[in-house]
Amino acid sequence: MNKIEEPSQDPNEIDEVKENIEVWEDLVNIKELVLALVICSVTTLGGYFIAPNEPPKPLFFGLIGALVGFIGSSILIKPKRRFRVVKDEA
């Protein structure tokens, strides 16, 4: 069976950890979280406000804006998680 071992922390990583917060048992960078929230909010509201004023269209335009914001955020913000797989000695 394989174990996932956490890498040892050097001083640069310790400074990076101080800028992170825990969200749903995962560490995220505060600046990148705020950037992603701003991107998604702007694209969602932009889609909603440019939609025609017929009942289902603002919903669809807002959802498309949210999807565009999510895709844009995932392209701009790369994951920082690293895994090392270590084989058992036994």
State how many domains the chain has. 1
Query: Is residue 46, in this structure, part of any structural domain at all?
Result: yes
Q: Phi and psi of 27, rounded to 5°?
A: -90, 130
> What does DSSP say about strands 2-5 and 84-87: parallel, antiparallel, or unpaired?
antiparallel
pLDDT at residue 45 greater than cutoff 70: yes
pTM of the complete model beyond 0.85: no
| pLDDT tier at 3, thresholds 50, 70, 90 | very low
Residue type (1 letter), 29: N
What's the pLDDT at 8?
54
Residue 27 in any domain: the answer is no
Q: Report if residue 88 sits inside a domain.
A: yes
Q: What is the DSSP letter of 54?
A: S
Domain enclosing residue 88, as ranges? 40-90
